[in-house]
């Protein structure tokens, strides 16, 4: 069974006590490491006014990530088009393509990415687009970002020429790769009709996955840029040296999901210790945990690798975009994403490998089940976990 290529979806999570600056710094460092580890893409999501999510502007984050990486594709997962002017989106991603030629992905969705209040504020404070004209706006962006540009017709011009040329950038030599994102039949059918690549947002819930893929593949119409259906899936992942640590690191995000689904007030992401203490009191995530364990990829590296390969084979894809949702322990640095870094490193490494920056002594010791015992070590959770996996003591 062939292993799928791996990519990363980042919401730039914000934990208790962490500033936006620290959260962004942690994600940008994660993007640089994903580049080194051989991940295929790194996409930033768009969400607004959420205490635990700092990914509000995918093109800004993608620009910095592109400047700090050499090989990996960067982009949006996705830009929520109803919040924006299609021309502005086209200009932003044409500029990104000029910054990092051949490495830019423009993932587009049609959901608002927030609540009705924020949607209204976006409409009041800037140029947005009509969600009912979503297919027209996709066509517009495809034309505007191409080297040929787009043409509109104007009437009553003194020179009699009704054609008016518009380009997202003056002299493009390439175009960002446009993907349609969604978790319903609508985006799958639209991507098929336009001959575009498609991503099912499986990390949301997974409901309707098989139907959406079937609709996309069965109705696909070849286009100038894509001869056959092309798709991959997203998935939440938490990987650690031990299954117990992975379970512990899963809990903060599981509790956040419970708040979202239950309509409860949202907060910054709890630390592992905060989540464990709160869960012992209110059992907020308890009703969801079994279902999340089935849909998420949580556990030790070998087990998760095997499950990812099976998942890819079952759905006929050769790539999976991971949303690394591992929570942080209290003692871990605020400007680093130790648990998420650990997930990426352990999945990218060979089964017996230790991440290259780990500093371990040769003295064996009993493995610990969590990173709490190693909180004083500046190297972070990923090095600690790798040391534990190899039966070594951490420097």
Query: What pLDDT, in 10s, does the model give residues 4-39?
Result: 999 999 999 999 999 999 999 999 999 999 999 999
pLDDT over threshold 60, residue 273: yes
pLDDT band at 234 (very low <50, low <70, confident <90, very high): very high
Q: Does position 249 have pLDDT exceeding 60, yes or no?
A: yes
Q: What percent of the chain has pLDDT over 70?
A: 84
pTM as predicted: 0.86
pLDDT of residue 128: 67
pLDDT surpasses 60 at 377: no
Which pLDDT value is given to residue 53? 96
- Banded pLDDT at 334 (limits 50, 70, 90): very high
Higher-confidence residue: 375 or 224? 224
pLDDT of 352: 39
Report pLDDT for 248: 98
pLDDT in tens, 46-101: 999 999 999 999 999 999 999 999 999 999 998 999 888 999 999 999 999 999 99
Confidence of residue 330 (pLDDT cuts 50, 70, 90): very high
Cα–Cα distance for residue pair 253/237, rounded to 1 Å: 11
How confident is the model over 190-220, as pLDDT tens digits? 999 999 999 999 997 778 899 999 999 999 9
- Of these ranges, 61-65, 181-185, 365-369, the one predicted with the greatest mean pLDDT is 61-65
Residue pLDDT, tens place only, 160-178: 667 889 999 999 999 999 9
Confidence at 126, pLDDT banded by 50, 70, 90: low
- Largest CA-CA distance found in the chain, in angstroms, rounded: 85
Q: Is the pLDDT of residue 367 over 70?
A: no
- Quick one: pLDDT at residue 390? 34
């Amino acid at each position: 069974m062939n292993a799928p290529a791996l990519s990363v979806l980042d919401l730039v999570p914000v934990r208790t006590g962490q500033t936006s600056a620290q959260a962004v710094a942690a994600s940008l460092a994660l993007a640089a490491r994903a580049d080194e580890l051989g991940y295929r893409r790194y996409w930033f999501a768009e969400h607004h006014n959420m205490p635990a999510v700092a990914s509000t502007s995918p093109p800004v984050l993608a620009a910095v990530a592109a400047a700090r990486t050499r090989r990996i594709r960067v982009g949006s997962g996705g830009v929520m088009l109803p919040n924006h002017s299609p021309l502005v989106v086209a200009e932003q991603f044409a500029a990104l393509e000029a910054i990092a030629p051949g490495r830019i992905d423009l993932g587009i969705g049609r959901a608002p990415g927030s609540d009705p209040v924020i949607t209204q504020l976006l409409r009041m404070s800037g140029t947005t687009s009509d969600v009912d004209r979503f297919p027209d706006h996709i066509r517009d962006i495809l034309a505007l970002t191409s080297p040929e540009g787009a043409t509109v017709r104007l009437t009553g011009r003194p020179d009699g020429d009704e054609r008016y040329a518009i380009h997202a950038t003056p002299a493009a030599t390439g175009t960002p790769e446009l993907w349609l994102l969604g978790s319903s039949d609508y985006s799958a059918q639209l991507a098929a009709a336009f001959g575009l690549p498609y991503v099912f947002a499986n990390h949301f819930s997974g409901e309707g996955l098989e139907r959406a893929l079937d609709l996309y593949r069965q109705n696909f119409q070849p286009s100038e840029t894509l001869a056959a259906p092309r798709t991959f899936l997203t998935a939440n992942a938490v990987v650690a040296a031990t299954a117990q640590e992975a379970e512990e690191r899963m809990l903060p995000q599981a509790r956040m999901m419970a708040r979202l689904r239950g309509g409860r007030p949202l907060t910054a992401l709890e630390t592992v210790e905060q989540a464990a203490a709160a869960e012992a009191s209110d059992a907020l995530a308890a009703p969801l945990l079994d279902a999340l364990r089935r849909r998420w990829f949580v556990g030790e590296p070998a087990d998760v690798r095997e499950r990812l390969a099976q998942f890819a084979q079952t759905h006929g894809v050769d790539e999976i975009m991971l949303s690394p949702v591992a929570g942080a322990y209290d003692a871990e640095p605020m400007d680093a994403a130790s648990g998420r870094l650990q997930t990426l490193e352990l999945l990218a490494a060979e089964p017996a490998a230790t991440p290259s920056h780990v500093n371990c002594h040769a003295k064996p010791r009993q493995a610990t089940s969590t990173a709490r015992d190693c909180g004083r070590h500046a190297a972070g959770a990923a090095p600690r976990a790798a040391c534990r996996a190899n039966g070594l003591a951490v420097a």
